[in-house]
Amino acid sequence: MLKDLDRPLSQADDLGRPIPPSPHAVSVCLPTWADNVGYEQADPRVIGRMQCGYPRFFLHPSVVRLFQKCEAKFARPGECCFAFPSRRVAERCVEFVRKEKGLQGTVEAFDQRIFSVRMPAEARDVVKVYWQHTGQIVSSRMAERVLADRTPETDGAAEKQAIRARLAGLMRVDPADVWLFPSGMAAIETAFRAFRRLRPAAKSVQFGFPYVDSLKIQERCGVGVHFFPRGDSQELQELAKAAAAEPLLGLFCEFPGNPLLASPDLGHIDKLSRKYDFPVLVDDTLGALINVDVLPTADLVSCSLTKFFSGAGDVMAGSLVINSRRPGAGRLRDALAAEYEDLLDEEDAAVLERNSRDCIERVRRINQTAERLCDTLQAHPAIERIDYPKYRTPENYRACRRPEGGYGGLCSILLRNPESNAPAFFDALAIAKGPNLGTNFSLCCPYTILAHFNELDFVERCGISRHLLRVSIGLEDPDWLIARFLDALSSLPA
């Protein structure tokens, strides 16, 4: 894998190439700051070069062809089709569009596994929003196989059993407590629906600034959300007031958070959840289920297995782990069972199982390199701030850190004079550049530009600079990697 990326994808002619060089890559090369802005603005110069992208945001060419095949089979003039991996998902999409746009749609069975949503063409954008926010998507492997009318190479049962056992070993639970999904967002969205089964009229809580779609699901699919973007001690007091004033659907948080790497006080949240009877979901994607143990303070732990657990960057998946020792675990398990469908594609499961066999060894190597890199960069005069769990709310992180755990492989960089220096540094940095994280190779992206381009003022009010650079550290030689960052910093004006 690393050999394929010895020449970092960072040059102009690399724009739009898959990272890694796989037909099922979940990242794409956006080598310059202008390329990232162009992607967000749908600039034909950029979009026309895109061979792939992160699958919830960018429709894979095989997925587009599947949609076109559905349209040829079902659509009337002025209509479009999206394909989903189950009838229930497709029906929820129809309901989402009806609520958002007042437009009607129908569900058509393309085959036993694929269900097409047929909608007026003007609904295309809102269907795409549903695809992105829920993560209940048709993967590129599934689409490729359906188009070729080919049966899977495996039924996936043994591979899924192995993955659940591997996750159960990391979390020290029974494999029956582990649930698999086609993406990390699908896991969170399913948990949200399970919470709504138990308390449909209650508002949810987002504690700490989350990855974009976690908040969007709560805003668009529930009855309201209490949003505490900073997740600090003052907002813990505000959370207590909200919990005392009304029943809460459940609390969602990340540990640590993406992109600022702050860690909420899970001990305090646990006390409030027990006192006021609301469930807690902790997203442990950045801890990789290896560095920290958050399960004792949570009802559910979610993880995007697309990231560090896989590492290869060529498959999407997610997981939920239920804490059977928590009060109300039986009711929550029943609610999850009522909402759950096993939608992880068989061939995706086989790839994920192979990729994840060495996840512990990889994460520990990444931990060591990341800490060296962050300690080096923090002392550099061109750096305003490094966001990293070792430096941000370290007492909260260490309270959950495993004895053998590290600080993870993600950090964010804010440069001095960021308006001019961030684009210059990014363009000069000679490593792979694109969305995604947790890969075996290092990746950098202008995070706020990619994730929040249409709400930059809002996220800056939440404490996240529009010039923030997010770095995911890989398995490269640490000295080589540090030299790349120092070279890029040396290109900036003194």
Q: With CA atoms as reference, report the closest residue to 254 among 312, 315, 217, 212.
A: 212
Cα separation values, 386 from 17, 106, 120, 257, 261, Å: 29, 49, 47, 14, 10
Q: Where in the chain is the domain with CATH 3.40.640.10?
A: 157-356
Task: State the pLDDT at residue 212.
Answer: 84
Task: State the pLDDT at residue 3.
Answer: 42
Q: With CA atoms as reference, report the closest residue to 383 among 474, 488, 261.
A: 488
pLDDT tens string for the chain (494 positions)? Answer: 344 445 556 677 899 999 999 999 999 999 999 999 999 999 999 999 999 999 999 999 999 999 999 999 999 999 999 999 999 999 999 999 999 999 999 999 999 999 999 999 999 999 999 999 999 999 999 999 999 999 999 999 999 999 999 999 999 999 999 999 999 999 999 999 999 999 999 999 999 999 889 999 999 999 999 999 999 999 999 999 999 999 999 999 999 999 999 999 999 999 999 999 999 999 999 999 999 999 999 999 999 999 999 999 999 999 999 999 999 999 999 999 999 999 999 999 999 999 999 999 999 999 999 999 999 999 999 999 999 999 999 999 999 999 999 999 999 999 999 999 999 999 999 999 999 999 999 999 999 999 999 999 999 999 999 999 999 999 999 999 999 999 999 999 87
In degrees rounded to 5, what are phi and psi of residue 206?
-110, 115
Q: How far apart are CA 32 and CA 36, in angstroms?
A: 7
Q: How far apart are CA 213 and CA 172, in angstroms?
A: 29
Long-range contacts of the stretch 101-105 (C-beta < 8 A, 24+): 101/126
Which is it for strands 79-84 and 178-181: parallel, antiparallel or unpaired? Answer: unpaired
Count of beta carbons in the 10 Å neighbourhood of residue 197 = 14
20 upstream amide cis, omega within 30 of 0: yes
pTM for this structure? Answer: 0.96
Task: State the pLDDT at residue 13.
Answer: 84
Task: State the pLDDT at residue 8.
Answer: 56
Residues 6+ apart with CB under 8 A from 313: 19, 20, 22, 25, 26, 27, 436, 439, 440, 441
Q: How far apart are CA 246 and CA 239, in angstroms?
A: 11
Task: State the pLDDT at residue 10.
Answer: 62
Q: Where in the chain is the domain with CATH 3.30.70?
A: 61-134
| Terminal C-alpha separation, the chain | 37
Which is it for strands 18-19 and 27-28: parallel, antiparallel or unpaired? Answer: antiparallel
Q: Is 3 helix (H, G, I), strand (E, B) or coil?
A: helix
Task: State the pLDDT at residue 494.
Answer: 74
Taking every pair of C-alpha atoms in the chain, what is the biggest distance, in angstroms? 62
Q: How far apart are CA 350 and CA 154, in angstroms?
A: 8
Q: How far apart are CA 151 and CA 174, in angstroms?
A: 32
Give alpha helix (H) positions in 254-411.
Answer: 266-276, 329-339, 346-355, 359-378, 394-400
Task: State the pLDDT at residue 103.
Answer: 97
Q: How far apart are CA 251 and CA 350, in angstroms?
A: 33
Q: Where in the chain is the domain with CATH 3.90.1150.10?
A: 358-490
Kindly report the CATH number that applies to the domain delimited by 61-134. 3.30.70
Residues 304/344, Cβ–Cβ less than 8 Å: no
Residues 474/27, Cβ–Cβ less than 8 Å: no
Task: State the pLDDT at residue 211.
Answer: 87
- From the options 3.10.450.50, 3.40.50.11540, 3.40.640.10, 3.10.20.600, give the CATH code of 157-356: 3.40.640.10
Q: How far apart are CA 342 and CA 193, in angstroms?
A: 15
Residues 344/317, Cβ–Cβ less than 8 Å: yes
Residue 236: exposed, middle, or buried by beta-carbon count in 10 A (0-12, 13-18, 19+)? middle
Q: How far apart are CA 180 and CA 25, in angstroms?
A: 20
What residue type is 186 in one-letter code? A
Homologous superfamily of domain range 358-490? Aspartate Aminotransferase, domain 1 (3.90.1150.10)
Task: State the pLDDT at residue 1.
Answer: 38
Residue 464, token pair as written in the block: 């996240």
